[in-house]
């Protein structure tokens, strides 16, 4: 199943000014990425954005619910992705503000920090090798 064209158009219109919007299947869901960072999902034509300690209360007060599921082994999982308050669908500027915060929350998540550290190590490795070669030729 792919993202409905109408929803994709709405995402581009509302979130496009924030950066490059891409969609990708993630965990069997339609993931929304902003500049390569997973900030949310579309589930049953509803948007779910990444939350953090600062934003979660606003989602609760707005009537949002966390995305949850049961794993095959029976474990119940509640994620940090919450449905947007209904009013935001009629307030595109405010929805964009929530998306900015979701983007920041996604960048600070533990999994994002691990990926950032791995990328930094990969980036450093070629430079380290070049320095070692330079030292070897001087000797």
pLDDT tens digits, one per residue of 75-85: 999 999 999 99
**What 3-state class would DSSP assign to 55?**
coil
Helical packing angle, 92-108 and 110-138, nearest 10°: 50
- From residue 36, how far is each of 40, 73, 106, 136 by CA, in Å? 12, 31, 11, 38
Domain residue spans in the chain? 5-108
Backbone angles phi, psi at 133, to 5 degrees: -65, -40
Beta carbons of 31 and 21 less than 8 angstroms apart: no
Mean pLDDT (the chain, rounded): 84
The lowest-confidence range among 10-14, 92-96, 118-122 is: 118-122
Q: Does the structure show a pLDDT above 80 at 115?
A: no
CA distances in angstroms from 99 to 20, 126, 129, listed in the order given: 13, 35, 40
pLDDT score of 34 more than 60: yes
* Residue 1: predicted pLDDT: 44
Homologous superfamily assigned to 5-108: YgaC/TfoX-N like chaperone (3.30.1460.30)
Query: What pLDDT score does 13 carry?
Result: 86
State mean pLDDT over 24-40. 89
Each residue of 1-23: pLDDT tens digit? Answer: 466 777 888 888 888 889 999 88
Distance of CA 70 to the CA centre of its chain: 21
- Cβ neighbors of 51 (< 8 A, separation 6 or more) are 59, 80, 81, 82, 102, 105
Calpha distance 40→65 (Å, rounded): 13
pLDDT of residue 125: 62
pTM of whole model > 0.85?
Answer: no
- Please count the other Cβ atoms lying within 10 Å of the Cβ belonging to residue 113: 11
Specify the higher pLDDT residue, 30 or 139: 30
Average pLDDT over residues 110-131: 64
């Amino acid at each position: 199943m792919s993202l409905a064209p109408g929803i994709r158009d709405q995402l581009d219109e509302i979130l496009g000014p924030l950066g490059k919007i891409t969609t990708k299947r993630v965990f069997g869901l339609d993931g929304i990425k902003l500049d390569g960072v997973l900030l949310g999902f579309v589930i049953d034509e509803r948007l779910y954005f990444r939350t953090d300690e600062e934003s979660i209360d606003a989602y609760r007060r707005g009537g949002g619910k966390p995305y949850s599921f049961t794993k095959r082994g029976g474990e119940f999982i509640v994620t940090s992705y919450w449905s947007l308050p209904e009013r935001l669908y009629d307030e595109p500027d405010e929805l964009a503000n929530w998306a900015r915060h979701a983007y920041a929350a996604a960048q600070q998540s533990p999994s994002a920090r691990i990926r950032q550290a791995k990328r930094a190590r990969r980036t450093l490795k070629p430079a380290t090798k070049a320095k070692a070669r330079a030292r070897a030729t001087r000797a």
